[in-house]
Structure 1
């Protein structure tokens, strides 16, 4: 007998094939008007087959999102979820890059390093990359913002690939490996947190964001997430054991050495590392093992690559793009519009972004302290061992997912694939899912197959809509907080 609210395999079959039809349409859109190296970015409607590509893209995205949403309560079984997500990935594995030109940046940065250049000091254009025309113009003269481990992987792809096509194939295989690693870790994380594995696997792997952006777009976020989830799995399965802490620290260190975003998870990973009662000495002991392994891994990758910490400077250039899809940027736009009416020069975006980063720092501290307090409270609660075993990893994993969600919401820049960071962690730890599934579904519609963003054509109305949404959410949260206080 199936669980309440969960469809049987027979009733869920239409969703499987509707989503597959959507994935095929997205693959067709990629061949008609995807991110091709030899075609300069001219906009979705001016390209010869741009209208047909856009229609296929919108129809395919709608079908995939609709099918994913229909089973948001969980697939009929975990195996069914894996098989269906795998079917949806097949058309996206053989299409040109979709929805972003970042993979060409990876290829050129890898080529630059293999050619003896420092990608943290020299842009790919100045380095002489032969594929620079395929890179988005805004990133041709900027240093690489990625960690040394990923630069090494990109250089290996450039050397073994033998050309642009081979390099892109290897970069997509890296991304696929990251998604497969995450898929292997999800059931263990979900079971540790007391979440149905069939629901966690469906929400995380069948999301159109994963197929379109992590696999077809070959974003390095897939590699980061695979390493991150593997490290968290080791921690929740083997907390407090020195050897396991070292392994988990190495995995988390490699995740940070791919993309710096993973660093926000480290304080919560330290909580997951504690064995036994939650006390400050235990946190310093077990968290120290974990943190030491992370630092050693970062140091080793920096020394082996010969690049040091130059990638930290590249992070400052990631905010060169300004789009209303980032809430702080949208608020800055609206403030500028109001200021222009009063005769003031625009300049609010850097201010609102700085305020948001300060708010993020404070929010991360609050989230960590709430998690620590909740875990300390478990020390004194007399419950069955099984309930405690579930409560501990759920608190740490959920807090890590919330930290990633806050990072995405308050970052200076938002791209749709950023939503996969919290999505994959929260899918395996959150009991309520609508609040993060809805934004992920909306984010699926924010790009077009050639990499053009919807924000490009809707700056003013998008900024106003985002600001109004933030005000509404703030009012709703305030009323809920006052109700709880009463």
Structure 2
């Protein structure tokens, strides 16, 4: 039965093709080459004002506009991003084929491969962390400044004295990139970008299988994930390690879902998830849902212990093995605390804390409750993850995993635009309305300027108010829905009434 919502994936069906093949050819050419034009414009913008390997303090949108090529940089960023977003939206209902998707996305990614990074300086931090690790230092014990990174000027000051918050597998990858890149920062960045590309390729390879299991359109799922502008701008151009984490998460879920009840595939799928955790610890929220996906039949505690236990064992074994191979301890977990140094309204708990502080100002109160709001947010997240898992026991583990990642992104102390790809990669194969995926990713695609300047820093007050208002509206809507639900009739009353 077809869904009444055209933006919603429909189990086991594909949207009908248009009755005008000539128009379809023109339309899909416009989509492909419109997006390619946007990618080329953004790549050119990266040369003019991207994330160059020299840190410049005091940069603002105004200083960018008034600087060399300023109007061209900002207009190119706006036009290029708009073209990519528009092309992505154009395929939200249907696309010609999986092959067409892969060729189109491949064309879009090409301009970024030889251009400077866009949107973040993180790749330079990766390079420095890899360099000091390759030189024998412990990146979990010392910052890159203390260990003498040769490319320190490229790193944001926030990360110069901060231990690495990434897992041991990524330290191995970054160390290999720094070693093979030699003394060249450009070569090291290119190799880190190659690792990100491998993560995207792994997602592209494994996603169709997950779509088949979920009964959703494979081609459309590929499009929603791979053609998302965040993938090109941040995962590939910015070379974020999130690409590798997402690829391993999708691969692990695919292997588990392919062979539920089979010992070796379940252990192997868990091992892939363990590798994902060894890149970024966030991936751990997927593991309980992969354990549910491992069940060959209905949920039973004994079956969960037997089959889900194999997934958990694979996860732990892989994480321990990689930690041993890297010669590093679990010190990277301590580095996670430094990720919370960024205070921006794009994180919901942070926005709530900022809003409470603003409320106190008219009364002369100096309330800085961001740490407390973040702590409450983590507590709510823990409860929400348990609730999502509890419901997924008799529902869809894939949908549960996607919702768990979405909750983690929304309630985490810090948010960056590329985090939106985490839930997108899994929810694209779940039966959720496409607007839930498209709208947030579209909004955050415009949050960061080419050189990594985050607009959230300069919109703190209005952004905080918008987030707080959105939260209040969400609570009101949820309360109305709960209050408006028809109450279940009392069974005894029904039974008594049936005798009259």
TM-score (ref. length: structure 2): 0.90
Q: Partner of 2:65: helix, strand, or coil?
A: coil
Are the aligned partners of 1:74 and 1:203 in contact in 2 as well (CA < 8 Å)? no
1:466 maps to which residue?
467
Give the match for residue 254 of structure 1. 275
Q: Distance in 1 between matches of 2:25 and 2:266?
A: 40
Structure 2: how far apart are the matches of 1:367 and 1:442?
Answer: 26
Pairwise CA distance, 1:5: 7.5
How far did 1:46 drift?
A: 5.0
Maintained 8 Å contact 1:105/1:139: yes
Q: Measure the CA separation in 2 of the matches of 1:277 and 1:4.
A: 34
What is the match of residue 446 of structure 2? 445
Residue 227 of structure 1 is matched in structure 2 by 248
Alpha carbons 2:235, 2:243 under 8 Å: kept: yes
Distance in 2 (alpha carbons) for counterparts of 1:226 and 1:471: 35
Deviates more, 1:310-319 or 1:296-305: 296-305
Deviation for aligned residue 1:484:
3.6
For 1:3, which of 8, 15, 21 is the aligned residue?
A: 15
Aligned to 1:59: 79
Moved over 6 A (4+): none
Secondary structure in structure 1 of the residue aligned to 2:314: helix
What's the counterpart of residue 349 of structure 2? Answer: 328
Q: Supply the distance in 2 between the matched residues of 1:140 and 1:157 (Cα, whole angstroms).
A: 19
Deviation of the 1:39 alpha carbon: 5.5
Aligned with 2:140: secondary structure?
coil
Query: Which one of the candidate residues 108, 111, 130 is aligned to 2:131?
Result: 111
**Contact 2:15 2:93 survives alignment (8 Å):** no
Aligned ranges for residues 71-150 of structure 1 at < 5 Å? 71-150=91-170
Unaligned runs of 5+ in 2: 1-13, 488-500
2:173 is aligned with 1:153: yes
Q: Rg bigger for which structure? A: 2
Following superposition of structure 1 onto structure 2, how do residues 29-40 of structure 1 map, counting pairs within 5 Å? 29-38=45-54, 40=56
The Cα RMSD (Å) is 1.5
Counterpart position of 2:371? 350
1:329-408 residue pairs with structure 2 within 5 A?
329-372=350-393, 374-375=394-395, 395-408=396-409
Separation (CA, whole Å) in 1 of partners of 2:55 and 2:139: 25
Secondary structure at the aligned position of 1:274 is classed as coil
Matched with 1:457 is: 458
**Structure 1 counterpart of 2:34, from 18, 21, 26:** 18
Could you tell me whether the CA contact under 8 Å between 1:9 and 1:76 is conserved in 2?
no
| SS of residue paired to 1:126 | coil
Partner residue of 1:196? 217
Could you give the per-residue CA deviations for residues 78-105 of structure 1, whole angstroms, max 9, x where no partner exists?
A: 2222221111111122210110000001
Which is worse superposed, 111-120 or 168-177?
111-120
Is 1:218 equivalent to 2:239 in the alignment? yes
Per the TM alignment, residue 485 of structure 1 is displaced from its structure 2 partner at its CA by: 4.6
**CA deviations over 1:63-83 (Å, ceiling 9, x no partner):** 111111122112122222222
d(CA) in 2 for partners of 1:280, 1:229: 25
Tell me which moved more, 211-220 or 473-482: 473-482
SS of the residue corresponding to residue 36 of structure 2 reads helix
More displaced 10-residue stretch of structure 1: 78-87 or 112-121: 78-87
**Alpha-carbon offset, residue 338 of structure 1:** 1.0
CA distance change for structure 1 residues 279 and 22 in 2, over 3 Å: closer, same or farther? same
Q: Who is 1:381 aligned against? A: none
**Separation in 2 of the partners of 1:412 and 1:483?**
33
Shift of residue 51, structure 1, vs aligned partner: 2.8
User: 2:310: which partner in 1?
Assistant: 289
Paired residues, number: 465
Residue equivalent to 1:69 = 89
Q: Distance in 2 between matches of 1:144 and 1:47?
A: 33
Partner SS for 2:146 = helix
Structure 2 SS opposite 1:405: helix
Aligned equivalents of 1:451, 1:159: Cα separation in 2: 26
- Between the aligned partners of 2:169 and 2:307, the Cα distance in structure 1 is 25
